[in-house]
Amino acid sequence: MPQPSDDSERFRHLRDQQLRARDPLKKQRKLDQTIARKHRESQHAFSLLEMWLDIPHKWRDTAYGALIGLGILLLVPFLLKGLWGTCLGAGAFPMCIVLGYLIGRYEDTKDEIRNLLP
């Protein structure tokens, strides 16, 4: 016949096994880990490149078009002397802005369609 101390030891061991199998703090630890992970992910350094890439294509490409148009506006009068160079440069500036905007709208629409497809 087993001694009483052996039974109590066996019961204590069995209770410890059951507690390990059904960890009462398992949900709380998982929640704490999720909160800590989300906090770490939110604490990233500020980046101008990420900020620029978050702007929709239509506005980014409009800015690119404005820069190209400004370059043409400044360069063409030096190449073509007289009123024709100034008029050509002044006409190219808004055309480049509109072209940049249309290309950006196309890229945004393409991305939206890609996101809607499975």
Domain ranges for the chain = 4-42, 48-113
Which residue reads 């890229």 in tokens? 107
User: Tens digits of per-residue pLDDT, 10-53?
Assistant: 888 888 888 777 776 778 888 899 999 989 888 877 788 888 88
Long-range contacts of 98-103 (CB under 8 A, 24+ apart): 98/65, 99/65, 100/61, 100/62, 100/63, 100/64, 100/65, 100/66, 100/68, 101/58, 101/61, 101/62, 101/65, 103/57, 103/61, 103/65
Which residue reads 């709208």 in tokens? 105
User: Tens digits of per-residue pLDDT, 93-112?
Assistant: 999 999 999 999 999 999 99
